[in-house]
């Protein structure tokens, strides 16, 4: 089963002579359970592709189907709900809320979605990621690698159909321990799309596309 299908995707920034064709008619698919890394130089369009695939930005053309639902064409509200329930993001700059502690950061998206606290799953994730003794710390009290693990825990906690990670190589330690620290099978994650430039990470991918 394809968890992600992208057909003839096109994205242009600006208009006329100064416009930038960031995504120029790209098609690909990702099967359930697949780890995919998309590799390319700076400015080649990786973040744009991540934002479009995750429904954070709109394409100028083409079709995106996630978990059997076409997201291109969804209204803003429908897309927001779909995103919250199906897509986990790990951003390059982590996007943690500075005035919330680690526990509240991890729980925030599901709290906004009015989902019940799943204590057992929360403990499983935070222990697997070595965060169990950091739960009352604030992001500013954590190292970059620890902050990234919080962002990963937050993405995993919502049990998304896919996880999109933009250059998740900020912490070399984490990359080295990726397969162990993120128990993909344990959490039945469908895929991890890893949009990276660092070649060290590529070996964890089942399929690699070089732009
Ligand atoms: N919001 C934007 N407005 C205009 N141009 C943009 C915008 N975002 C990205 N671009 C341009 O689109 C191209 C792809 O950028 P990006 O997707 O950020 O690449 P990458 O993540 O691979 O470094 C670049 O030429 C960049 O300058
Ligand atoms: Mg980028």
Give the number of other Cβ atoms within 10 Å of residue 104's Cβ.
15
Do the Cβ atoms of 153 and 131 come closer than 8 Å? yes
Please, is 197 exposed, middle or buried when counting C-beta atoms within 10 Å of its C-beta (0-12, 13-18, 19+)?
middle
- Output the six-digit token pair for 127: 């222990």
Q: What is the pTM of this model?
A: 0.82
Average pLDDT of the chain to the nearest whole number: 80
Ligand 1 contacts CB of residue 41 (under 6 A): no
Ligand 1 contacts CB of residue 121 (under 6 A): no
Q: What is the percent of the chain where pLDDT is above 90?
A: 42
Q: Work out the pLDDT band at 171, boundaries 50, 70, 90.
A: very low
pLDDT, tens digit, 9 for 90 and up, residues 45-82? 888 998 999 999 999 999 999 999 999 999 999 999 99
Domains of the chain: 2-210 (3.40.50.300)
DSSP readout, 28-79?
A: EEEETT-EEEEE--TTSSHHHHHHHHTTSS--SEEEEEETTEE-TT--HHHH
pLDDT, tens digit, 9 for 90 and up, residues 108-150? 989 988 889 999 999 988 988 889 999 999 999 998 888 988 9
pLDDT reported for residue 123? 92
Contacts of 176 (CB under 8 A, 6+ apart): none
pLDDT reported for residue 53? 92
Q: Work out the pLDDT band at 1, boundaries 50, 70, 90.
A: confident
Do the Cβ atoms of 71 and 79 come closer than 8 Å? yes
Q: Work out the pLDDT band at 163, boundaries 50, 70, 90.
A: confident
Give the number of other Cβ atoms within 10 Å of residue 151's Cβ.
25
Answer whether residue 187 shows pLDDT above 50.
no
Residue 66's beta-bridge partner residues? Answer: 4, 69
pLDDT reported for residue 172? 39
Q: Which is more confidently placed, 1 or 116?
A: 116
- Output the six-digit token pair for 56: 């954070």
Residue with the smallest CA separation from ligand 1 atom 18 is 47
Answer whether residue 184 shows pLDDT above 90.
no
Answer whether residue 165 shows pLDDT above 60.
yes
CA 56 to centroid of ligand 2, rounded, Å:
14
Residue with the smallest CA separation from ligand 1 atom 7 is 13
Q: Distance between CA 193 and CA 155 in Å, rounded?
A: 13
Answer whether residue 14 shows pLDDT above 90.
yes
pLDDT, tens digit, 9 for 90 and up, residues 74-105? 999 999 999 988 888 888 777 899 999 999 99
Question: From the CA of 41, which ligand is nearest?
Answer: 1
Give the number of other Cβ atoms within 10 Å of residue 63's Cβ.
15
Q: Work out the pLDDT band at 210, boundaries 50, 70, 90.
A: very low
Answer whether residue 201 shows pLDDT above 60.
no
Ligand 1 contacts CB of residue 45 (under 6 A): yes
Ligand 1 atom at minimal distance to the Cα of residue 166: 21
Do the Cβ atoms of 126 and 150 come closer than 8 Å? no
pLDDT reported for residue 83? 92
Ligand 1 atom at minimal distance to the Cα of residue 48: 17
Ligand 1 contacts CB of residue 92 (under 6 A): no
Ligand 1 contacts CB of residue 148 (under 6 A): no
The mean pLDDT of 183-202, rounded to a whole number, is 44
Ligand 1 contacts CB of residue 75 (under 6 A): no
């Amino acid at each position: 089963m394809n968890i992600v299908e992208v057909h003839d995707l096109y994205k242009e920034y600006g208009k006329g002579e100064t416009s930038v064709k960031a995504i120029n008619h790209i098609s690909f698919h990702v099967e359930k359970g697949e780890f995919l890394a998309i590799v390319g130089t700076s400015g080649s369009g990786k973040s744009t592709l991540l934002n479009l695939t995750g429904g954070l930005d709109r394409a100028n053309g083409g079709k995106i189907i996630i978990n059997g639902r076409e997201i291109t064409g969804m209204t803003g509200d429908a897309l927001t709900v779909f995103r919250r329930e199906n897509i986990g993001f790990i951003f390059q700059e982590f996007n943690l809320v500075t005035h919330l502690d680690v526990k509240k950061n991890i729980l925030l998206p599901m709290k906004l979605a009015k989902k019940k606290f799943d204590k057992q799953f929360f403990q499983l994730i935070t222990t697997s990621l070595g965060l169990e003794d950091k739960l009352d710390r604030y992001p500013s009290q954590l190292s970059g690698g620890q902050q990234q693990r919080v962002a990963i825990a937050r993405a995993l906690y919502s049990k998304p159909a896919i996880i999109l990670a933009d250059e998740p190589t900020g912490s070399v330690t984490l990359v080295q321990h990726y397969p162990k620290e993120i128990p993909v099978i344990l959490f039945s994650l469908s895929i991890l799309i890893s949009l990276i430039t660092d070649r060290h990470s590529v070996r964890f991918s089942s399929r690699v596309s070089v732009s």
